[in-house]
Chain A
Amino acid sequence: MKIPDLTELALRNLRESLLRNSLTTVGISVGVASLVAMLSLGIGLQQLFSRRLAKSGLFDTVLVTSRRDVRGMGRDRDDPSGPTPAESRVLDESARQEIERLPNVLEAYPDIRFQPELRFEDKPYLEIVSALPASAKSNDAFEGMQGSFFSSDTAPEVILQKTFAEKLLGKTPARGIHETNVADLAKPLLGQELTMLYSQRAPSSTTPLAPAAGAAAPSDVDLIGSTYSVVYRELKLKIVGISDQDPESMRGPTRARVFLPLKLAESLHVIQPADLREVSRAAGNQPVYSSVSVRVKNPAQVQLVEDAVKKMGFGTFSILDASRGLQQVFRVLYAFLGIFGSLALIVSSIGIVNTLVMAILERRREIGIMKAIGASDGDVQKLFFAEAGAMGILGGIVGVVLGWAIGQLINFGTNIYLKSQSFPPEHFWAVPWWLVALAIGFSFLVSLVSGLYPAGRAARLDPVQALRYE
Chain B
Amino acid sequence: MDGNQHIEKRVLRLDGLTVGYHINKHTTREVLSNLNVELRQGELICMLGANGAGKSTLLRTISGVQHPLAGSVKINGRDVNEYGRRELSQLISLVYTDNTLAGGLTVEELVGLGRQPYTGFFGRLSEDDHRIVSEAIAAVGLTHKAADYVSCLSDGERQKAMIARALAQETPIIILDEPTAFLDVASRIETMKLLHNLAFNNGKAIILSSHDISQSLMLASRLWLITGDGQLIDGVTEDLVLDGALNRLFPDRDVTFDPTIGDFFASTDSHRVVKLACHEPLLCHWFTNALNRNNIITTDDADIAVEVLGRNKFVFDGKQITGISSLLSALKQHFAD
To the question of whether A and B form a pair in one complex, the answer is no
Residues on B close to A: CB < 8 A?
A: none
